[in-house]
Amino acid sequence: MPFEALVAGCLAYVALMFGVAFAADRAASRGRVRWLDHPAVYTLSLSVYCSAWTFYGAVGYATRSGLEFATIYLGPTIVFCGAWWGLRRLVRVARMHHVTSIADLISARFGKSNRLAALITLIAVIAATPYVALQLQSVSLSFEVFATDSLTDIPLAGGGGTALWVAAGLALFTIVFGTRNLAADERHHGVVTAIALEAVVKLMAFLALGVFVVWGLAEGPADMLDRIAQAAAGHDGWLLKPDRWTALIVVSGAAIIALPRMFQVLVVEAADEDRLAVAGWAFPAYLFAMSLFVLPIAVMGQQLLPADANPDLYVLTLPAQSGQNWLAFLVFLGGFSAATSMVVVCTIALATMISNHWLVPLWLILRRKPQTGDPEDLRGFVLNARRLAILAVMAVGWVYYRATGGTAALASMGLVAFTGMAQVLPAMIGGLLWRGANRQGAYAGVGTGFALWLALIFLPSVGIGQDPALPPSVDPLAFAICLSLALNTLAFIVFSIFGMPDPVERLQGLSFVSAVDPVRHGRMARGADQVEPLLVMARRVWGAEDALRFFQSEAAAQGKSGYLPDMTPRFLTRLERRLAGSIGAATAHAMIDSVAGGSELTVSDLMQVATEAQRAKEETQRLENARAELARTATQLREANDKLTALSIQKDAFLGQISHELRTPMTSVRAFSEILRSPDLSDADRDRFAKIIYDESGRLTRLLDDLLDLSVLESGQAQLSITPANLHDLIERALSAASATQPQRVFRLDREPLAEYVGVITDADRLLQVLINVISNARKYCDAEPPVLSIRVRRTLRGGAQIDIADNGSGIETARQALIFEKFSRLNDPARAGGAGLGLAICKEIMANLGGEITYLPGQGGAAFRIVLPRRPPVPADAGLRRA
CA-closest candidate to residue 181, choices 380, 392, 394: 380
Q: Which is nearer to another protein, 666 or 784 (CB)?
A: 666
Under rule CB under 8 A, residue 660 binds another protein: yes
Candidates 224-232, 349-357, 401-409, 659-667 — which segment interacts with another protein by CB under 8 A? 659-667
Least separation in angstroms between residue 680's CB and another protein is 9
Under rule CB under 8 A, residue 656 binds another protein: yes
Under rule CB under 8 A, residue 828 binds another protein: yes
Whether residue 446 contacts residue 488, with contact meaning beta carbons closer than 8 Å, is answered with yes
Residue 843 CB burial class (10 angstroms; 0-12, 13-18, ≥19): buried
Q: How many residues bind another protein (CB under 8 A)?
A: 24
**Phi, psi at residue 405, to the nearest 5°?**
65, 25
Whether residue 696 contacts residue 863, with contact meaning beta carbons closer than 8 Å, is answered with no
What 8-state DSSP symbol labels residue 502?
Answer: -
Under rule CB under 8 A, residue 686 binds another protein: no
- The residue within the footprint of another protein, chosen from 696, 709, 763, 807 (CB under 8 A), is 696
Residue type, 637: L
- The residue within the footprint of another protein, chosen from 827, 858, 874, 878 (CB under 8 A), is 827
Q: How many CB atoms neighbour CB 498 within 10 A?
A: 11
Candidates 52-60, 431-439, 528-536, 821-829 — which segment interacts with another protein by CB under 8 A? 821-829
Residue 372 CB burial class (10 angstroms; 0-12, 13-18, ≥19): exposed
Candidates 176-184, 372-380, 416-424, 652-660 — which segment interacts with another protein by CB under 8 A? 652-660
- The residue within the footprint of another protein, chosen from 392, 666, 700, 857 (CB under 8 A), is 666
Q: Which is nearer to another protein, 618 or 652 (CB)?
A: 652
- The residue within the footprint of another protein, chosen from 98, 617, 663, 748 (CB under 8 A), is 663
- The residue within the footprint of another protein, chosen from 664, 726, 796, 817 (CB under 8 A), is 664
Least separation in angstroms between residue 662's CB and another protein is 8
What 8-state DSSP symbol labels residue 312?
Answer: G
d(CA 719, CA 50): 78
d(CA 576, CA 538): 10
Least separation in angstroms between residue 668's CB and another protein is 4
Q: Which is nearer to another protein, 540 or 670 (CB)?
A: 670
What 8-state DSSP symbol labels residue 820?
Answer: T
Cis peptide bond prior to 242, omega within 30° of 0: no
Q: How far apart are the first and last CA of the chain?
A: 69
Q: Which is nearer to another protein, 541 or 671 (CB)?
A: 671
Candidates 290-298, 538-546, 589-597, 829-837 — which segment interacts with another protein by CB under 8 A? 829-837
Q: Which is nearer to another protein, 695 or 853 (CB)?
A: 695
Strand duo 801-807 + 853-856: pairing: unpaired
Interacting positions 525-584 with another protein (CB under 8 A):
none
Q: Which is nearer to another protein, 620 or 659 (CB)?
A: 659
Whether residue 107 contacts residue 113, with contact meaning beta carbons closer than 8 Å, is answered with yes
In sequence order, which ranges of 563-682 are alpha helices (DSSP H)? 569-583, 585-592, 603-677
Under rule CB under 8 A, residue 670 binds another protein: yes
Least separation in angstroms between residue 664's CB and another protein is 5
- The residue within the footprint of another protein, chosen from 659, 701, 723, 736 (CB under 8 A), is 659
Q: How many CB atoms neighbour CB 409 within 10 A?
A: 17
Q: Which is nearer to another protein, 4 or 674 (CB)?
A: 674
Candidates 101-109, 328-336, 655-663, 871-879 — which segment interacts with another protein by CB under 8 A? 655-663
Under rule CB under 8 A, residue 409 binds another protein: no
Under rule CB under 8 A, residue 648 binds another protein: no
- The residue within the footprint of another protein, chosen from 692, 774, 842, 863 (CB under 8 A), is 692
Under rule CB under 8 A, residue 115 binds another protein: no
Least separation in angstroms between residue 710's CB and another protein is 20
- The residue within the footprint of another protein, chosen from 64, 578, 832, 871 (CB under 8 A), is 832
Strand duo 788-795 + 748-751: pairing: parallel
Under rule CB under 8 A, residue 675 binds another protein: yes
Under rule CB under 8 A, residue 751 binds another protein: no
Least separation in angstroms between residue 800's CB and another protein is 38
Q: Which is nearer to another protein, 232 or 676 (CB)?
A: 676
Under rule CB under 8 A, residue 812 binds another protein: no
Least separation in angstroms between residue 799's CB and another protein is 44
d(CA 357, CA 351): 10
Under rule CB under 8 A, residue 667 binds another protein: yes
Least separation in angstroms between residue 678's CB and another protein is 8
CA-closest candidate to residue 154, choices 463, 408, 414, 411: 408
d(CA 670, CA 660): 15
Whether residue 194 contacts residue 38, with contact meaning beta carbons closer than 8 Å, is answered with no
Under rule CB under 8 A, residue 671 binds another protein: yes
Under rule CB under 8 A, residue 830 binds another protein: yes
As separate numbers, helices (DSSP H) first and strands (DSSP E) second, the chain gives 36, 7
d(CA 49, CA 46): 6
- The residue within the footprint of another protein, chosen from 401, 512, 672, 747 (CB under 8 A), is 672
Q: Which helix (H) or strand (E) holds 804?
A: strand 801-807
Q: How many residues in the chain? A: 884
Under rule CB under 8 A, residue 466 binds another protein: no
Task: Produce one character per residue of 822-835: b if its CB has 16 or more CB atoms within 10 Å, e if not.
Answer: bbbbbeeeeeeeeb
Whether residue 261 contacts residue 341, with contact meaning beta carbons closer than 8 Å, is answered with no
Under rule CB under 8 A, residue 695 binds another protein: yes
Least separation in angstroms between residue 659's CB and another protein is 5
Q: Which is nearer to another protein, 412 or 697 (CB)?
A: 697
d(CA 670, CA 528): 93
Geometric angle at alpha carbon 173, from 171 and 176, rounded to 5°: 105
Whether residue 712 contacts residue 747, with contact meaning beta carbons closer than 8 Å, is answered with no
**Phi, psi at residue 50, to the nearest 5°?**
-80, 85
CA-closest candidate to residue 291, choices 84, 43, 75, 79: 75
Under rule CB under 8 A, residue 669 binds another protein: yes
d(CA 311, CA 69): 13
Under rule CB under 8 A, residue 679 binds another protein: no
- The residue within the footprint of another protein, chosen from 303, 829, 875, 879 (CB under 8 A), is 829
Interacting positions 760-799 with another protein (CB under 8 A):
none
Residues that bind another protein (CB under 8 A): 656, 659-660, 663-672, 674-675, 685, 692, 695-696, 827-830, 832
